[in-house]
Amino acid sequence: MRRFRFKLEAVRELREQAETSAKEALARELALGREHDLELAHAAARLAAAREAFEVAPDHEIDVPALRTLQGYVERRELEHAVAVQNARLQAERIEDARRALAVAAREREAVERLRRWQERDHALKAERAEQRSIEDIGVRTQRSFVPPSAA
């Protein structure tokens, strides 16, 4: 009997490549996520430092222009922090999207792999049956051609 050949091998390879690409995309998104988390931590630290600088001791006098400058500085740091929070949230969503894409790619590849394994088992079973039939045919032919010594 012929050797097993999976007719959808090209599809299996494409699914495998798609899964590999999805893994790489997830890795890139995770790396970007770490960068955004780091930027968020830095923005939070800068905002805390700005707020701390804005706090004035009750007995310390400060002029209005300096107070406005400090207020503007704190507001810029708050905006910077809000942007960092938004970027981190959006990146977390992209990470989840990449995870879902990887799960779909893995399921699609696994479906083709299961089909290949099933067809391979089916092929092996058919080959075993054909071999068994050949052995039985040989046995029947041998038995028919066998003439017992007492009959001669």
pLDDT, tens only, 61-72: 778 888 888 889
Regarding pTM above 0.75, the answer is no
Query: Which tens digits make up the pLDDT trace of 122-134?
Result: 999 999 999 999 8
Instruction: Please work out, in degrees rounded to the nearest 5, the angle formed at the alpha carbon of residue 43 by the alpha carbons of 38 and 49.
Output: 130
Residues of the chain above pLDDT 70, percent: 95
**Using CA atoms, how far apart are residues 74 and 82, in angstroms rounded to an integer?**
12
What is the rounded average pLDDT of the residues 52-79?
A: 83
pLDDT at 147: 65
**Using CA atoms, how far apart are residues 49 and 77, in angstroms rounded to an integer?**
9
User: What distance lies between CA 18 and its chain's CA centroid?
Assistant: 10
Query: Which tens digits make up the pLDDT trace of 34-50?
Result: 999 999 999 999 999 99
112 half-sphere exposure, CB direction, 13 A CA radius: 19
**Using CA atoms, how far apart are residues 126 and 114, in angstroms rounded to an integer?**
18
